[in-house]
Amino acid sequence: MIVETFPVGALQVNCVVLGCSVSRKAVVIDPGADLELIEEALRKHDVTVELILNTHGHFDHIGANAALKKSTDASLLIHQADVRLLQMASLQASAYGLTAEDSPMPDRELKGGEVLKFGEQSLQVLHTPGHSPGCVCFYTEGLLISGDTLFAGSVGRTDLPGGDHQQLLASIQQKLAGLPPQTRVLPGHGPLTTMENELKYNPYLAG
């Protein structure tokens, strides 16, 4: 499977491109900004975007939804509990002195548990509320895109509206901690890690 991740926007969100090397079909996860960087990655791998996926609805993860959807005509998916945030991106960004474009409404609302296919590849949707009510992670064998649920050495903040620290920790324990230790983790911000490292060294999970 084609996997490329790169930071976008002022808050350096890790945008992820996953592609099927056979069909050249792809998904883009968390296109937070910088459409030109995303399009460059798509051209580099010669893939066609079928799905735009948001791990959650905060502005730094959805800021290029509209531009990418217009550029590719791909379907936009987000968990149903965060749909309301899509058209609040500009308002959210203004609180940080930044700008963002509001997102179009999703073509499909996720509930958790779905399997999303692109070519010969697939992703399982794991609903992991806590950072926001509609946070999800995307899992395929050997790889977890964890959004702002789990970071290298930390977890997502829960002091924003809809956040719940105990719910976040429960989501991680119930949905993520049991994944194979060698699973690579691509977080929403910062360096990649593995489940083994987080279970050993992350103060929120270790012990």
Per-residue pLDDT reduced to its tens digit, 115-164: 999 999 999 999 999 999 999 999 999 999 999 999 999 999 999 999 99
Query: To the nearest whole percent, how much of the chain has pLDDT over 70?
Result: 99
pLDDT digits (tens, 9 = 90+) for 173-197: 999 999 999 999 999 999 999 999 9
Q: What is the largest CA-CA distance in the chain?
A: 47
Q: What is the separation, in whole angstroms, between the first and last Cα of the chain? A: 33
Q: List, in order of start, the domains of the chain with CATH numbers.
A: 2-201 (3.60.15.10)
Q: Token digits for 116?
A: 């999303």
pLDDT over 70 (residue 207) = no
**pLDDT for the residue numbered 205:** 85
In contact, 180 and 190? CB cutoff 8 Å: no
In contact, 31 and 17? CB cutoff 8 Å: no
What distance in Å separates the CA atoms of residue 15 and residue 186, rounded to the nearest whole number? 10
Instruction: Supply the pTM of this predicted model.
Output: 0.96
**pLDDT for the residue numbered 21:** 95
pLDDT digits (tens, 9 = 90+) for 46-74: 999 999 999 999 999 999 999 999 999 99
pLDDT digits (tens, 9 = 90+) for 65-99: 999 999 999 999 999 999 999 999 999 999 889 99
Backbone angles phi, psi at 147, to 5 degrees: 55, -140
